[in-house]
Amino acid sequence: MALIKSVRGSSPVFGKDCYLADNCTVIGDVVTGDYCSVWFNAVIRGDVNSIRIGNRVNIQDNAILHCTFEKTTVNLGNNVSIGHNVIVHGACVEDNVLVGMGAILMDDVVVGSNSIIAAGAVLLEDTRVEPGSIYAGVPAKRIKGVDKEKLSKTIERIADNYINYSGWYRV
């Protein structure tokens, strides 16, 4: 069963039809939208500040969401996929974004809507990702725009797939 903990007077609140893997951890001031999934070994730690997660968001295996005490929060929009082993630390990710495996988003990063963060990318503190961009590298830089086909075939497909996958575990 998922580890759900209250801390400092705050308890996680989950939207409709969310899936929590058996060994994920969700702590403190965390609020999710509907149809979200938190996968194996993922940690969402709202102990030092708030974490807000929109609708149709998947937090994949071993991902970590955390903030800096009294300084930053985590805000994820709708239809966001946070890949395996991603760290989101005090960052804002707008709607329709794919954050690839192993990427790191540091404090005060803002990822504009309809964007892709490549696997392994490191977005340094205060980075601003323009909407509709692909960022890659260490430190991450804009490499090109996201075309409409990639938007539907990658970002939307992965979000849809994770809603489907979560159904497999509800039996």
pLDDT at 151 over 90: no
Minimal CA–CA distance to 42: which of 8, 18, 66?
66
Please give the pLDDT value at position 152. 79
Q: Give the integer Cα–Cα distance in Å for 157 and 166.
A: 14
What total of structural domains would you count in the chain? 1
Minimal CA–CA distance to 79: which of 113, 109, 46?
113
Please give the pLDDT value at position 150. 79
pLDDT at 171 over 80: no
> Is the model's pTM score more than 0.85?
yes
Q: Region 100-116: what's the mean pLDDT?
A: 98
- The CATH number for 108's domain is 2.160.10.10
Q: Is 83 exposed, middle or buried (0-12, 13-18, 19+ CB in 10 A)?
A: buried
Domain span including residue 33: 3-168
Task: Band the pLDDT of 76: cuts 50, 70, 90.
Answer: very high
- Supply φ then ψ for residue 166, to 5 degrees: -60, -30
Please give the pLDDT value at position 170. 81
8-state DSSP, 91: -
Place of tokens 């060994």: 23
What is the overall mean pLDDT for the chain?
96
